[in-house]
């Protein structure tokens, strides 16, 4: 029922956040009601500002429906949105949090401290937290992609891969990266921390969109049947279960 809305929202986000809409891509025609629902969904997901940018860009190529433009204007184009906050990123139990703190302390005392890489780690962790606790990740995944592109020259991926392995976040970080690849137009070369493809990453990203329509969410969309090493805590097991299912 919401396939067209989800498709169009993802296209507008890819264009607005990353300028990544394929030239051959086309927005699916929708009724005025569905365009308004798209704007409502984007506002609830805290990504309306990117939808507005995508709309402005695509509208310059081919005029978009007046209903969409009016709905964006009515919400001030997302200018009042609060950016994704990753400043309080933390893990769910003492063991993994201790390992994270070890990584942070060692890096801050290093002669070649990479604050950009530490920040990227925070964003990955905060995304994992949102996936587990809020069943949504759209704003966080976009923040992840934008940070990677804006700071690519300052990120030490050798350090990042080592930290992810030490803490136990290799799989979920790969899942987050695969969402950028499958939905936002990134290439694998841009995301060296991705260890393998996850075929279901696109579906899970889309589920995060359809959640706002009450259709389904991350927590009910899929379940795991393969254990993984990153069984960090009872709450984090939910995310690990999700990630394993993506591989099937």
Query: Are 140 and 190 found together in one domain?
Result: yes
Q: What is the pLDDT of residue 131?
A: 81
Residue 83 located in a structural domain: no
Q: Which domain holds residue 61?
A: 3-78
Mean pLDDT by 10 residues, the chain (248 residues): 87 94 78 93 93 91 88 82 86 85 93 95 93 81 97 96 94 93 95 92 86 57 34 45 47
Residue 88 located in a structural domain: no
Distance CA 87, CA 97 (A): 15
3-state secondary structure of 64: coil
- Note the pTM of the prediction, 2 decimals: 0.85
Query: Are 215 and 106 found together in one domain?
Result: yes
Residue 87 located in a structural domain: no
What are the Cα distances from residue 38, in Å, to 44, 68, 75, 162?
10, 8, 12, 40
Query: Are 8 and 125 found together in one domain?
Result: no
Query: Are 31 and 115 found together in one domain?
Result: no
Query: Are 15 and 98 found together in one domain?
Result: no
Query: Are 9 and 118 found together in one domain?
Result: no
Nearest residue to 152 (alpha-carbon basis) of 187, 126, 182, 183: 187
Nearest 5°: CA angle at 142, between 136 and 148? 135
Contact 26, 59 (CB under 8 A): no
Q: What is the pLDDT of residue 214?
A: 66
Residue 84 located in a structural domain: no
Q: What is the pLDDT of residue 186?
A: 96
Query: Are 50 and 100 found together in one domain?
Result: no
Residue 86 located in a structural domain: no
Q: What is the pLDDT of residue 79?
A: 76
Domain count, the chain: 2
């Amino acid at each position: 029922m919401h396939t067209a809305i989800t498709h169009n929202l993802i296209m507008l986000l890819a264009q607005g956040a990353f300028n990544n809409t394929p030239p051959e891509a086309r927005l699916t025609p929708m009724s005025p009601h569905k365009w308004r629902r798209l704007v409502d969904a984007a506002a609830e997901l805290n990504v309306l500002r990117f939808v507005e940018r995508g709309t402005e860009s695509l509208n310059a190529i081919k005029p978009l429906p007046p209903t969409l433009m009016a709905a964006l204007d009515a919400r001030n184009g997302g200018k009042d949105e609060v950016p994704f906050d990753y400043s309080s990123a933390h893990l769910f139990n003492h063991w993994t949090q201790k390992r994270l703190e070890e990584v942070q302390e060692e890096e801050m005392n290093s002669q070649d401290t990479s604050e950009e890489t530490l920040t990227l780690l925070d964003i990955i962790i905060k995304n994992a937290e949102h996936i587990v606790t809020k069943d949504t990740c759209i704003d966080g995944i976009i923040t992840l992609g934008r940070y990677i592109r804006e700071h690519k020259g300052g990120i030490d991926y050798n350090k990042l891969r080592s930290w992810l392995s030490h803490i136990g976040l290799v799989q979920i970080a790969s899942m987050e990266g695969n969402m950028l690849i499958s939905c936002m137009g990134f290439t694998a070369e841009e995301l060296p921390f991705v260890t393998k493809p996850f075929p279901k990453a696109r579906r899970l990203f889309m589920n995060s969109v359809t959640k706002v329509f009450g259709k389904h969410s991350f927590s009910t969309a899929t379940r795991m049947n393969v254990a993984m090493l990153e069984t960090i805590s009872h709450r984090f097991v939910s995310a690990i279960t999700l990630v394993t299912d993506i591989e099937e």
